[in-house]
Amino acid sequence: MTTPLLVALGGFFGAVARYAVSRWAARRSPRFPLGTLIVNLLGSFLLGWLAGSGAADATKLLVGTGFMGAFTTFSTLKWESVQMMQQRQWTKAIAYLAATYLLGGCLAWIGYHVGR
C-alpha cells in the first residue's frame, strides 16, 4: 500500500509544479511551447540525477515515478509538435523536437554523472 501512496503523492506535486511552470512560461512565450520544453528538459536532468544518485527505492518512487511522471509530458510534446506541423511552422517544429530530444538526452546524461 505504501508504493501507490508514494507515487500518488509525488504525482500530485509533479502535476501542480508542471501547471505552475506552464503558466509562467506561457506569459513569457505565448507563441512557443516553452513550458513543455522546460519541464521535459528539467525532468530529463533530474531523472538522470536521480538514477545516478543511488537514492533509496522509496525516493525513486516518490520523485522519479510520481513527481517526474506527472511533471514531464510526452503527449503534450507530440500534440504541440503536430499543431506546429499543421500550421506549416516547420522550422519551429524541428527546433522544438530537436531541442527536446538532443538536449534532453544530454541533460539526462549530465544529470546521471552529477548524481554519481
Annotated binding site for Na(+): 69, 72
Query: What is the C-alpha separation between 51 and 84, in angstroms, rounded?
Result: 33
Query: What is the C-alpha separation between 113 and 115, in angstroms, rounded?
Result: 5
Grid cell for residue 82: 503536430
**Annotated binding site, which residues?**
69, 72
Grid cell for residue 55: 537514492
User: Is 103 buried (19+), middle (13-18) or exposed (0-12) by CB count in 10 A?
Assistant: middle
